[in-house]
Structure 1
């Protein structure tokens, strides 16, 4: 077992180089970024309100007067250990409530003189001991002060004990508390999950502590830096099994209950605790140096072998990380469990990782290639945290990106090791970089790392679990790994895990053989972590000049957040000239000169010469060229497209540069003209994602007909290609990404009206309806076929899907059907479906907000979903808005199509009308929705006529 440390703010992440052995490394985040220095010196504009700070400050100013009025714990007490006993009841009491009871004893040390004990507690009924809510005693012959009074503070979620005298500095005390809580179905803290098996209702007691829900389970110092050792005891019903972070130390099978005690944990944060009581069963393996690996799930899921794949890939992924980190897995066992009700995708509880069923279970008959990939990547993400995040932990939530950005990057490495034929490392471009660009190009974006004081209450903490922390974090770390090289990057991580970070001395990476960078990694990474956004790099091949500028999707938007670096980045640029790779160029100022040799600036004198930058798409920036070079690249796409290795990037850059008015919209659209020759998945996916914006903006206008005709013309050769290589849809393409592109080909061909496609879809679905126990549709194609058949069909098709949804025991199948039912074009069916989202017996709470978003993605369903959430905002916010990580996507999902002045005014009125209710973790998403809608209005006004003309001519 290794020692445990949290990341000190002084070092942040910067790690680096063990100089003596030339271990020149900066741990990924080598953002050792002078954070404290920046705070002490102050940033430009400090002291003034920052309207774009992340998260958005509350509407009403709250000035704390007492220590318990603040959301952060005082620094006078430090927890040492907890002894926690919990007894969840899996049957309702006389009042119809599911409850749990328990008691806890926390040992803490006084490090600053104080007469107050402040500890987190939320929604717990505490036992009264002679007029007080806790008992206090001293250890090692220390006499504890008597408690004068005790009370609960609802706003800041504190239990406060006022003492008659002060605690002694250096002394250790024990705080004993008894409590009762509700085992509710709210997916927070210690909660219940329900499912039906063989006609019998089953109840699971399970947990989700991240980010601020441990306090709902037992009173605790609920901040990530407040690490302690936890000794857990679970009292539970006979016939059930209890699980926690560490291995069971003993089980007493008494009458009528069992008592399971667990070995003390490593020193860890409260948000990583997990407790589960269920009648689940497991499969196991001991291949990794006798490490016990178990997959837990419902008995039927295990019997149907839905856990086998997860078990098979967990061992190799753990082996990969042990080598990658150069550190053994820190615990004695690795449990992973699939839960019927779980709000997040998964949670990295140390030693007991919890998952949605769709993220852990794979049915070899029913599930698709995409389902298998999701299982692999989510497992790889969560297991990456076992070291980075759990062993070494962030101090406060403002630096969440260090946890999540890192895991989001290395999940691709772990998945690639487990499934080397999938080319997983390339997919980070689609799933992380492009997703981050879309948000980070807004004036309301925020830096990866913000100031501690910007993140206080639980809603602000939840708001940090966003695209910037996860996806931009992954993209920036990938860029760092590329210019350092992966081995150097990984060695830095190894150093971080083996030493207390404050004792590791960052050193100049320039001394590492083969690594040549113009500044310390610390200085380079500060530019990418302490200021929001990213640059567009413009190369003029006529002069060799190169420049950078802060890229904004709406060039007229105003950036209120100041930057100490004046929005200039140190940009590593890999580039080639006419197919020949050149030496990496570093752009360090606003402008520079790119050179072919040390003394010769770049000039393109031959008509056939061309330049391509960011060739491996590792740089977190967009690229623009002079028009002559754009013309050469477009010509090359049409004549020999495979020469351009980063076609997806060329397309994505062009479309977004056009939206930012840097190049013309027609130039961007011209990048798609070669598509009838394209067979690869990633370029096609890039095109479809960008054209989806055009569909969203124009599918309620006359432009859509011309767009549909053009896309039909371009997709038809791909549709025919897959018809041929699959022998008329009877075989599966051999390549992993080819299977994805087959899905694109069928889905777009059907929606654009390619001859024979809709008949094919209807035939498959009708055949299934006629033989309900035999589904003829290949798992890879189910999502597309279900959606298209329901869209082209009526009530009969919808009701059949609903029946199958209610009866399936495979979570991935239920997820597909749930999304597909939102595709119907029948308004009353959509309205009925919206009402179902309010009934947990029909749509699980974990799925309610995503189901509403699915309906809003349907052009017919958009106004229905918008009216629905406006009419029920207070209820929806109360149920999901105060801490749900996914809640913000509800606002962004519903407003994607908003592009008229009327919709903008409706959105602003919605904000105004609900200020008294609040928006919680969707606060920033609402501001960004207003910003995006404003930009959409301008873009549509300026581009509608020329887009209609272009599609009309190009479709001929």
Structure 2
């Protein structure tokens, strides 16, 4: 319910009071019935009434017992009887704490069970206050020490948690007993907790169950700390039991322990799930919420009898809930040592499919679509057991597809959670590349079970060890089990070219970067940690060779299993194996130059054609050069591989020499003057390459020769296109040379170079789209596309590869973007046939791979009826189709429909889930018509947007997608003003947005006319 609705309801409640109106006359209070009361008497009666009310409330609060039947139907909207309380035996027998999770505690101070009512309003006040501290008060400074002290460490958590699914009062009850070991003498225990109301807290010695006197408890909301101060100092080496009963809100913010729902036959069904990475376990239970604080977890989940629960480990028994009729307690095996962010549990009514110890879970209607994930997941698990040379240590893996999930997926140990679109593949509904997407996401999360879960970074500064490795291995694993897909080439597009753009910003960050707040941690879950991490590991693999790299990774995992590590530990393991196998390399020296410095280099290669020498020099590649003369330029250890026209050896990817952290080096190089030279074979090194003018001319000549261009490896053809266009973008190469290189695509038929070319041209498309010469650009691109479009065709063949299928989509999407006549005809006819069919929700004969193109074209050329038809398909759409529809609804050229779409995305009753709102903003912002609408919308509605999401990472994504097309000076000024006034607290990501738009403005001023002149010249040449 939004603030306006809440205020309206409050005002309505005030107007509906039933007492008689009061009139005040001459110092007396007189009712309309004529009884006159003196002021002192009224005051006395009022005080007596208040005291009576308070006393009654306290008696009820402290002494009323929970009803034994505890029917949920009897729970009022604002109160919920505490359904369970953690209990330890404190009798004089001093029993040891049981190994089983059924820890019974009888508090001597409570002869009977106390009824502790949960006030939803009370919890919401806590939540609102903390949200205000973090989100709205930009003057608050983050404390320097927001890390927990190391005086005590958790060894075991015994967690009992029960969610309740009551409309307008979604809550959960928890009890946790934490076994602590003291490492430094202290009289304070400090731990994390957010949006939790503590109902009872006590501290006992583990050995004799002696109660420790607690002087006070305090909460530091900004740092999310709770501090328990005790009378006597805790002894080093002793163990204690911290026992807390608490309550919380089952939120709808997609983090912590949250609720989700779906429609089934017109009935809304609720589920409860978790998402704890990076720092949100503290929202579900009091804990030491840092990755180095590993512990064992013994979890009990209370759930309705008609539902099921899942957690990290296997269920070992069930019993009726001891407090709530109709509820069951599920008891789970004790876990291996793990970090809090990997703890997971879910309460759903989903069904499952299993294969050996591998299971997939989804709502009944879409469960058949989980079969592919089950099949490929079990294959990937077996491959990775061999790849890591370590058996998967848990007794099972569950994968669950969730209707609402903020991220694509999460690697919780033994319980992998996914968005439905990331786990479900349905033949005839999902596109070919959806299958690839499911496979790679599944591989990514399974890869984490070792790299991240078995061995965990000590702190988030080395997040890239988790995400970079899993990202790299997802390609390795899927390529191993689906060799025909040839995914290794896609790694270049996704994790090299795609990352260069972000890492070229001055506001990028080191790969290994320290963070000092939860918001900063969220901000590093970006392309740098994932894509750059993967690209550097790919580079290192080629430097060391597979045998050394794999052996070093295995040794690293085995030496650190169940513990924590830093990047230096991986470097040491790899160096040791390399030394054993007579490869002299200090991996730390090489790789620290890449992980501890921001950005990446451009390697400039200048050939001296007379002396047969070549000068290799490096500098950081940036979009905007802001380096002052006083700043020391970064230098990298650059592995240099190369080949020539005479050699044409594109297989030898190991470096032939190094730039060993120096600015330049001159090498004798006996290369024929007429031979082209290509550096960075198969683009294994994470750097760009620039050449002297003559070598660029030699490369351009061979590429534009349709009989010779295949002399160059397909990845290096893509590399040359990507480097040339981005060197021109920053002024390091003239655009004429770069566009002459790209023009070779007219006779290229391979996917990777074409995808690279279309991405590079896409930037020019965006920059020119509002200008008067956009027509010339469209003519040029259409001419480039003609041959490839003709060869790939519109019709889909059953036996074609996934690469061919995606190539067709990319080519036709580009052709349709410029209103290719064949595309228009196919789209209009196909969409009309579908929209006029008797049952469009069940029958759709448009080929799945091109549906997005057809839908978008129909909505772009159509009006309200076409848009409304697509919108009406959303409720019944399968996940893949829903994903597609959400994107194409932004294709309309009708402004009021785009505005309506944005409005809908911020309403809970619109059918658009919070997880999909960024997709809505992206879809609207992706056109020249929609971009200014979306930018105006966020400025007008920013406070509502902040209130609706409350997630800084989501806000950053929205700002990024709605501003990516801005390229005029006045737009940049408006953006700066908006950031300054409304969202300067968003941190590094919003600074990256500002820098990107600034670069767009500079590009337009510097290159607009150059591009127009070149386009007019080349179109004249082809008589267009």
TM-score under structure 1 length normalisation: 0.87
Structure-1 residue corresponding to 2:503:
440
Tell me, yes or no, if the aligned pair for 2:605 and 2:617 is still in contact at 8 Å. no
Q: What pairs with 1:444-843 in structure 2 (closer than 5 Å)?
A: 444-451=507-514, 455-500=515-560, 512=579, 516=583, 519-541=585-607, 542=609, 543-558=612-627, 566-578=633-645, 579-581=647-649, 584-590=656-662, 601-607=668-674, 609-639=675-705, 640-645=708-713, 646-723=716-793, 729=795, 731-732=797-798, 734-771=800-837, 772=840, 773-808=842-877, 810-842=878-910, 843=912
Secondary structure at 1:776's aligned position in 2? coil
Contact 2:906 2:948 in 1 (8 A): no
Report the CA distance shift for 1:913/1:488 in structure 2 as closer, same or farther (over 3 A). same
Residues 1:113 and 2:174 aligned together: no
2:301 pairs with 1:301: no
The CA distance in 2 between the partners of 1:475 and 1:693, in whole Å, is 23
Moved over 6 A (4+): 501-505, 559-563
Q: Is the 8 A contact 1:548 1:568 kept in 2?
A: no
Deviation per residue, 1:13-68 (Å, 9 max, x gap) = xxxxxxxxxxxxxxxxxxxxxxxxxxxxxxxxxxxxxxxxxxx9x9657375xxxx
CA distance in 1, matches of 2:406, 2:685: 33
Q: Which residue of 1 aligns with 2:128?
A: none
Q: CA deviation at 1:755?
A: 2.8
Preserved CA contact (<8 Å) 1:441 1:534: yes
* Aligned counterparts, 1:346-357, within 5 A: 346-357=409-420
Give 2:233's aligned residue: 166
Q: 1:213 to 1:311 in 2, by over 3 A?
A: same
Q: What secondary structure, in the 3-state scheme, does the structure 2 residue paired with 1:307 have?
A: helix
Q: Is there any run of 5+ residues in structure 1 with no aligned partner, and where?
A: 1-55, 287-291, 596-600
CA contact (8 A) 1:539 1:546 kept: yes
Q: Secondary structure at the match of 1:74?
A: coil
Per the alignment, residue 72 of structure 1 pairs with: 147
In 2, Cα distance between equivalents of 1:346 and 1:832: 30
Q: CA deviation at 1:512?
A: 4.6
Q: Displacement, 1:174?
A: 0.6
Alpha-carbon deviation of 1:592? 5.1
State whether residues 145 and 167 of structure 1, in contact with CA within 8 Å, keep that contact through their aligned partners in structure 2. no
- Is 1:240 equivalent to 2:307 in the alignment? yes
Q: Pairwise CA RMSD of aligned residues?
A: 2.2
Matched residues in 2 for 1:553 and 1:285: separation? 50
| Cα separation, 1, equivalents of 2:800 and 2:779 | 30
Q: Does residue 1:899 correspond to 2:959, yes or no?
A: no
Answering whether residue 331 of structure 2 is matched by residue 268 of structure 1, we say no
What is the CA-CA distance between 1:372 and the residue it aligns to? 0.4
Shift of 1:311: 0.6
Query: Deviation of residue 551 (structure 1)?
Result: 3.1
Q: Does 1:390 align with 2:436?
A: no
Cα 1:693–1:561 shift into 2, 3 Å: farther
Instruction: Tell me, yes or no, if the aligned pair for 1:90 and 1:98 is still in contact at 8 Å.
Output: yes
Q: Deviations over 1:208-261 (max 9, x none)?
A: 011111111111111111111111001110110010000001012564111100
Rounded to whole Å, the distance in 2 between the matches of 1:577 and 1:268 is 51
- 1:50 corresponds in structure 2 to none
SS in 1 for 2:873: helix
> Are the aligned partners of 1:252 and 1:258 in contact in 2 as well (CA < 8 Å)?
yes
Residues 288-437 of structure 1 aligned to structure 2 (within 5 Å):
292-302=357-367, 305-437=368-500
Q: Report the secondary structure of 1:833's partner residue.
A: helix
What 5-or-longer segments of structure 2 have no aligned partner? Answer: 1-134
Shift of the 59–86 alpha-carbon distance from structure 1 to 2, 3 Å rule, reads closer
Say which one has the larger Rg: 2
Equivalent pair of 1:114/1:167 in contact (CA under 8 Å): yes
The offset of 1:482, in angstroms, is 0.8
Cα distance, 1:589 vs structure 2: 4.6
Residues of 1 paired with 2:264 and 2:972: CA distance? Answer: 47
State the match for 1:283 in structure 2. 353
In structure 1, distance between residues paired with 2:287 and 2:754: 51
CA shift at 1:354, angstroms?
0.2
When structure 1 is superposed on structure 2, of 538-547 and 327-336 the one drifting more is: 538-547
- Tell me, what secondary structure is at the counterpart of 2:226? strand
Could you give the per-residue CA deviations for residues 401-448 of structure 1, whole angstroms, max 9, x where no partner exists? 111111111110111122111111111111111121111111111111
Shift, 1:691, TM fit: 0.7
Is 2:898–2:930's contact at 8 Å kept on the other side of the alignment? Answer: yes
**2: CA distance between counterparts of 1:548 and 1:309?**
49
Q: Is the 8 A contact 2:556 2:573 kept in 1?
A: no
Q: How far has the Cα of 1:614 moved from its partner?
A: 1.1
Distance 1:113 1:605 in 2: 74
CA contact (8 A) 1:184 1:191 kept: yes
Alignment counterpart, residue 161 of structure 2, candidates 54, 67, 86: 86
User: Shift of the alpha carbon at 1:848?
Assistant: 1.1
Deviation at 1:262, TM superposition (A): 0.3
Aligned with residue 870 of structure 1, among 931, 939, 944:
939
Instruction: Encode CA deviations 1:172-208: one digit per residue, 9 max, x unaligned.
Output: 0011111111112110111001100111111011010
Of structures 1 and 2, the one scoring higher in RCO (CA 8 A, sep 6+) is: 1
Q: Counterpart in 2 of 1:139?
A: 206
